[in-house]
């Protein structure tokens, strides 16, 4: 009997959400423990899928395919490749820790605890099915549907006074992108119908694109690419479509901010890598220089603006804009190093951002303010909190030995092989990121204890249980990323083959210094 593991994987948190929301108002404590149990069960199931995934096997594994809307060629088709598997594991690893970190979030309102946990599990469910979907229409449905629970998490449970405004801004930005993408999805179906049987099956469309049987004109392909790319650029977000993110992250609870930046936004970069590149390879190549320029601007802009922030959470939000620029840069330089680095960066950014957001949230909950100026000397009264914040902060700087270093290095190497100038500008962000993190740490944690900070207590066992595994993952993946790269690389190789791209060969120019012992050969 073939067990539909991927269906169980995305349905389990959704069923758990329904059960939790139906609990009586007085069952808040039960809702917390039940939500945590469901998220741990989902994590265990995803680990089982990961262990059953064969890195050298077929590109898409655990495939399920059923008829959904035959009239429109839409099917319920799921499958996981190495890239999707990494994002599934990232999502299912983070959600239990987010529920623990936000253990008391939502408790002030009647049935608030049940609603908060149910919304979180619903987003987990929708993110998982989005990345394992192999049907374009199915992907679009859940790509858009996840906006609704996130809107309520920001507007209904946010900790800022402007949370309603931030929630509306988030929703409007993403709905506009989604509507344009819907037009592109319909256009893609029309194109497939004109050259055969209309379908939304991703693998069938990619096969038709690869063989040239789809017969799309260049103008149509570019228009469809822009429709998909616009929605993904808002979701990711790519500069200058980023304006919704800082407000949403600041006005949310820390756990929800992590859910936005570390989990949900990755669907945008995943969509670029899977749908934009593979469905529209020629258009992707045509717009590649423009997107690379926007990505580099985002890298530098996010870092510079972060330096000038006076709000802890807003500063961290702008660092994510810089990191998303790196991820998108690696995707669109279209080299194996760049795309492998970008996929690994999605994982590492998710872990490091989760750690720094949550630790900052623990600090703010103790002091009651997000203003950097209100702090000082925290390491004297809360050394564990300060130490873990320093490690998480250094991870965002991509310090060697911590996980983001490997992924950022791969992105820069991949970018240099295709666009050396983009890589050169990207490297400047390493200096800028050192400034914003080390200066933030200095103002928050060092020096004499500021007035009002003497009462700040150190991390409690529940908080240590949240932070310690994230720090451990940053260290392990920083020292030994090979198991993850072994999963990612075959999927990246398949993407490169599908889009007809090859890594640029090293160019040896006349006059290059001769290395003794090396065989002479013709210069290129």
Of 280, 380, 401, nearest to 334 by C-alpha is: 280
For residues 353 and 315, the answer to whether their CB atoms sit within 8 Å is: no
Dist. CA 476–CA 481, nearest whole Å = 7
CA 483, CA 481: separation in Å to the nearest integer? 6
Q: Is 500 helix (H, G, I), strand (E, B) or coil?
A: coil
Q: Domain extents for the chain? A: 280-502
d(CA 302, CA 306): 6
pLDDT for position 274: 92
Which residue shows structure tokens 């799309």? 216
Residue 72 and residue 70: Cα distance in Å, rounded? Answer: 5
Surface-to-core class of residue 339, CB atoms within 10 Å of its CB (0-12 exposed, 13-18 middle, 19+ buried)? buried
- DSSP letters, 417-480, are HH-HHHHHHHHHHHHHHHHHHHHHHHHHHSSSPPTT-TT-----HHHHHHHHHHHHHHHHHHH-
Measured CA to CA, the distance from residue 410 to residue 59 in angstroms comes to 22
Distance CA 130, CA 495 (A): 18
Residue ranges in the chain modelled with pLDDT below 50: 509, 512-524
Cα separations in angstroms, 211 against 111, 130, 216, 387, 492: 55, 26, 12, 55, 19
What's the chain's length in residues? 524
Q: What sign results for the dihedral spanned by CA atoms 436, 461, 14, 154?
A: negative
Neighbouring C-beta atoms of residue 468, cutoff 10 Å = 15
Rounded Cα distance between 423 and 312, Å, is 29
Question: Cis peptide before 237, with omega less than 30 degrees from 0?
Answer: yes
H or E segment and range at residue 131: helix 112-132
Say what the pLDDT of residue 516 is. Answer: 44
Tell me if the bond preceding 450 is cis, omega within 30° of 0: no
For 81, 128, 322, the CA distances from 348, given in Å and listed in that order, are: 18, 18, 14
Residue 1 has a pLDDT of: 55
pLDDT at residue 511, as a whole number: 52
Query: Are the C-beta atoms of 191 and 213 separated by less than 8 Å?
Result: no
Supply the pLDDT for residue 192.
87
> Could you tell me if 187 and 197 are in contact, meaning their C-beta atoms sit under 8 angstroms apart?
no
Element (H, E) at 80: strand 74-80
Residue pointed to by tokens 């490297």 = 427
Give 76's strand partners: 66
Those residues whose C-beta lies under 8 Å from the C-beta of residue 496, and which sit 6 or more positions away, are 334, 336, 339, 502, 503
**Measured distance CA(505)–CA(418) in Å, rounded:** 10
H or E element in which residue 68 lies:
strand 61-69
pTM confidence score:
0.89
Q: Which residues contact 207 (CB under 8 A, 6 or more apart)?
A: none
Where do runs of H (alpha helix) occur along 22-81? Answer: 28-52
DSSP letters for 214-241? S---HHHHHHHHHHHHHHHHHHTTPTTS
Residue written as token pair 């873990």: 388
């Amino acid at each position: 009997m073939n067990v539909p593991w991927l269906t169980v994987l995305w349905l389990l948190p959704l069923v758990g959400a329904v059960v939790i929301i139906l609990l009586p108002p007085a069952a808040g404590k039960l809702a917390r423990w039940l939500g945590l149990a469901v998220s741990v069960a989902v994590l265990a199931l995803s680990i089982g899928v990961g262990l059953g995934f064969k890195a050298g096997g077929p590109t898409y594994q655990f495939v399920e395919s059923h008829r959904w809307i035959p009239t429109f060629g839409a099917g319920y088709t799921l499958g996981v490749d190495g890239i999707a598997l990494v994002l599934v594991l990232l999502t299912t690893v983070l959600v239990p820790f987010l529920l623990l970190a936000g253990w008391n979030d939502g408790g002030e309102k009647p049935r608030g605890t049940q609603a908060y946990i149910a919304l979180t599990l619903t987003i987990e469910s929708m993110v998982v099915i989005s990345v394992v979907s192999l049907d374009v229409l199915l992907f679009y449905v859940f790509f858009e549907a996840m906006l609704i629970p996130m809107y309520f998490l920001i507007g209904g449970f946010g900790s800022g006074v402007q949370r309603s405004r931030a929630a509306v801004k988030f929703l409007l930005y993403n709905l506009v992108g989604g509507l344009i993408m819907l037009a592109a999805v319909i256009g893609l179906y029309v194109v497939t119908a004109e050259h055969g049987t209309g379908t939304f099956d991703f693998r069938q469309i990619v096969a038709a694109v690869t063989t040239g049987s789809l017969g799309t004109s260049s103008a149509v392909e570019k228009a469809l690419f822009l429709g998909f790319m616009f929605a993904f650029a808002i979701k990711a977000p790519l500069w200058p479509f980023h304006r919704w993110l800082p407000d949403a992250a600041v006005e949310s609870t820390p756990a929800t901010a992590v859910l936005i930046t570390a989990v949900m936004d990755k669907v945008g970069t995943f969509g670029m890598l899977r749908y934009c590149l593979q469905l529209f390879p020629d258009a992707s190549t045509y717009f590649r220089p423009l997107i690379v320029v926007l990505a580099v601007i985002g890298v530098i802009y996010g870092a510079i603006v972060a330096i000038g922030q006076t709000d802890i959470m807003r500063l961290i939000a702008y660092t994510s804009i810089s990191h998303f620029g790196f991820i998108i840069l690696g995707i669109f330089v279209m080299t194996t190093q760049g795309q492998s680095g970008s996929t690994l960066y999605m994982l590492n950014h998710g872990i490091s951002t989760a750690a720094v957001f949550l630790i900052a949230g623990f600090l703010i909950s103790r002091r009651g303010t997000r203003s950097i100026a209100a702090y000082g000397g925290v390491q004297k009264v809360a050394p564990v909190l300060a130490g873990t914040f320093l490690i998480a902060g250094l991870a965002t700087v991509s310090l060697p030995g911590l996980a983001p270093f490997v992924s950022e290095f791969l992105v820069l190497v991949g970018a240099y092989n295709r666009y050396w100038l983009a890589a050169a500008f990207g490297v400047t962000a390493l200096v800028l990121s050192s400034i914003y993190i080390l200066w933030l740490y200095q103002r928050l944690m060092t020096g004499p204890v500021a007035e009002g900070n003497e009462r700040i207590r150190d991390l409690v066992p529940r908080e240590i249980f949240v932070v310690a595994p994230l720090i451990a993952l940053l260290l392990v993946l920083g020292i030994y990323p090979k198991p993850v790269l072994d999963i990612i690389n075959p999927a990246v190789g398949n993407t490169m083959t599908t889009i007809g791209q090859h890594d640029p060969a090293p160019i040896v120019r006349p006059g290059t210094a001769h290395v003794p012992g090396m065989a002479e050969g013709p210069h290129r």
